[in-house]
Amino acid sequence: MKILLLGGGGREHAFAWKLAQDPGCSQLFIAPGNAGTAECGANIALSATDFPGIKNFVLTNAIQMVIVGPEEPLVRGIVDFFQNDPELSAVDIIGPSATGAQLEGSKAFAKKFMARHDIPTARYAEVTTTEAGADFLKTLKPPYVLKADGLAAGKGVLILDDYNEAVSALQTMLDGQFGEASRRVVIEEFLSGIEFSVFALTDGKTYRILPEAKDYKRIGEGDTGLNTGGMGAVSPVPFVTPELWQKVENRIIRPTVAGLSAENIDYKGFVFFGLINVEGEPYVIEYNCRMGDPETEVVFPRLKNHLTELFNSLMAGRLDVVRMETIPETAATVMLVADGYPGDYRKGDELRIVMRREGSLYLHAGTRNTDGKVLTNGGRVMAITSFGQSVAEAVGRSVEAAEGVVFEGKYFRRDIGKDLEGF
Ligand code: AMP
Ligand code: GLY
């Protein structure tokens, strides 16, 4: 099968790495890809949101399956674009329809969906005026959680300790701090607990669960400083006991898929459940309509099944007969980022692997090839994944590998997984 993969980050290198070993994938193209995906297939100079360009490429190259990595093309309706175009409707595309993608594209949509299907989540109000928000904030205890309704590149959530600060932050958001995305704001009760991520692949009726993961969002060690796209991840997550898994599946995953089905929402792709464990009870913090980054960099290395087996079963409505097989060892990824990230960061520095660690997987994120050199090309530059018998061993190996990669201004966290040591 000829496959086109959309996206160009660490997640997409993990997809491409899996597909490169997959007997069901005869030829792989990645748009736009990065210096790492170029080793797994052919990079195409096309943006993942250039729908007409993608159409042209798919038709010219007789692509049979399109896999959508990032959320933006999904929220913009790439799946509907394929289904509504007579020339493209026979091409399999992995991802939800625009309506399904609203689980991520609109926090208000997601909250209402959860309310309709009795899925545990923080109490909330959806507001478009500061007055209404100020009234609701009075019913909550600090800290206060404010979320831009729409996509804001992972930056749209603010957490404030003080009522007056929260009201003024709300005003700034509604005034367009995140453009149209924050003209509507979801205000939430703050949930206190430890977060983890769960992934399901669904055809909108049945589902299969992938290994869970925990990511590390803050730039600084000890989980301090600004939020990032993710500085590292581990899988499995030691505190996710069989008992907690049962609750996650019964109260969250199953009702979510049943809700999609009951509402006739076309959803053939991944659902990412951002969860929080509050004293043994799981709640949904957020949904995403795609795999996580850097969670994919630990989840896929643990997955024994080939992706084409999963996707072909999904498309045939036979996901329920697939047996998921997982490597039991712990995988940990450490993200190497550019100086300045998550603010303005350096770009265009040469990256070299001066000491390659046997057994570690070097997944490129923000990189590109120029004249035979690999140059940094994004805030998150490279994710290095290693296996170990424990979180500490797996992280230690990735940190060791990270030492052997050089580029100007390299930074990474050495404390990924440290908080899991007590479990
Ligand atoms: P999101 O972009 O929705 O993942 O939110 C970013 C981060 O904000 C989450 O990973 C949580 O750490 C935090 N957060 C979001 N909602 C809540 C909440 N209701 N209670 C506590 N923390 C939250
Ligand atoms: N690592 C969080 C995300 O992919 O959104």
Enumerate the β-bridge partners of residue 278.
281
All structural domains of the chain, each given as residue ranges with its CATH number in brackets, are: 2-98 (3.40.50.20), 129-183 (3.30.1490.20), 194-420 (3.30.470.20)
Separation of alpha carbons 135 and 25, rounded Å? 55
CA of 192 to the centre of ligand 1 (A): 10
Residue that the structure tokens 């079963």 belong to = 313
Ligand nearest to the CA of 274: 1
CA of 422 to the centre of ligand 2 (A): 24
| 3 state SS of 123 | coil
Q: DSSP letters along 329-349, please?
A: SEEEEEEEE-TTTTSS-----
For residue 361, the surrounding DSSP H or E stretch is strand 361-364
Task: List C-alpha distances in Å: 296 to 121, 198, 290.
Answer: 24, 11, 10
Q: The tokens of 8 are what?
A: 């160009």
Question: CB of 50 within 8 A of CB of 25?
Answer: no
Give, for ligand 1, the residue of 145, 197, 215 to mutate: max count of ligand atoms closer than 8 Å to Cβ.
145
- Sheet strands side by side (includes 361-364): 214-215, 232-235, 330-337, 380-388, 361-364
408: how many CB neighbours lie within 10 A of its CB?
Answer: 12
Evaluate: CB of 223 within 6 angstroms of ligand 1: no
Separation of alpha carbons 327 and 331, rounded Å? 9
Q: Measuring CA to CA, which residue among 419, 418, 231, 234 is closest to residue 342?
A: 231
Q: What pLDDT does residue 36 have?
A: 98
Which residue owns the Cα nearest ligand 2 atom 4? 292
Q: What pLDDT does residue 217 have?
A: 93
Chain centroid to CA 19 = 18
Which residue owns the Cα nearest ligand 2 atom 3? 292
Question: CB of 65 within 8 A of CB of 44?
Answer: no
| Ligand 1 nearest atom to the CA of residue 156, by list position | 2
pTM: 0.96
Residue 147: burial class (beta carbons within 10 Å; 0-12, 13-18, 19+): buried
Separation of alpha carbons 263 and 110, rounded Å? 13
Pairing, β 380-388 against β 218-220:
unpaired
| Ligand 2 nearest atom to the CA of residue 233, by list position | 1
Which residue owns the Cα nearest ligand 1 atom 11? 285
Separation of alpha carbons 46 and 56, rounded Å? 11
Question: CB of 245 within 8 A of CB of 252?
Answer: no
Evaluate: CB of 50 within 6 angstroms of ligand 1: no
Ligand nearest to the CA of 156: 1
The residues, ordered by sequence, that sit 6+ positions from 314 with a Cβ below 8 Å of its Cβ are: 94, 201, 202, 203, 268
Q: The tokens of 135 are what?
A: 């009234």
CA of 67 to the centre of ligand 1 (A): 28
Q: Measuring CA to CA, which residue among 237, 229, 329, 308 is closest to residue 11?
A: 229
Task: List C-alpha distances in Å: 23 to 296, 315, 369.
Answer: 20, 18, 27
Chain centroid to CA 283 = 18
Chain centroid to CA 104 = 11
Ligand nearest to the CA of 383: 2
Q: What pLDDT does residue 422 have?
A: 73
Which residue owns the Cα nearest ligand 1 atom 4? 286
Q: What pLDDT does residue 373 have?
A: 97
**Ligand 2 interacting residues, C-beta cut-off 6 A:** 215, 230, 288, 292-293, 295
| Ligand 2 nearest atom to the CA of residue 11, by list position | 4
Separation of alpha carbons 144 and 279, rounded Å? 20
Separation of alpha carbons 255 and 273, rounded Å? 12
Which residue owns the Cα nearest ligand 1 atom 3? 286
Q: Distance between terminal CA atoms of the chain?
A: 43
Per-residue pLDDT of the chain (423 residues; tens, 9 = 90+): 999 999 999 999 999 999 999 999 999 999 999 999 999 999 999 999 999 999 999 999 999 999 999 999 999 999 999 999 999 999 999 999 999 999 999 999 999 999 999 999 999 999 999 999 999 999 999 999 999 999 987 788 999 999 999 999 999 999 999 999 999 999 999 999 999 999 999 999 999 999 999 999 999 999 999 989 999 999 999 999 999 999 999 999 999 999 999 999 999 999 999 999 999 999 999 999 999 999 999 999 999 999 999 999 999 999 999 999 999 999 999 999 999 999 999 999 999 999 999 999 999 999 999 999 999 999 999 999 999 999 999 999 999 999 999 999 999 999 999 999 877
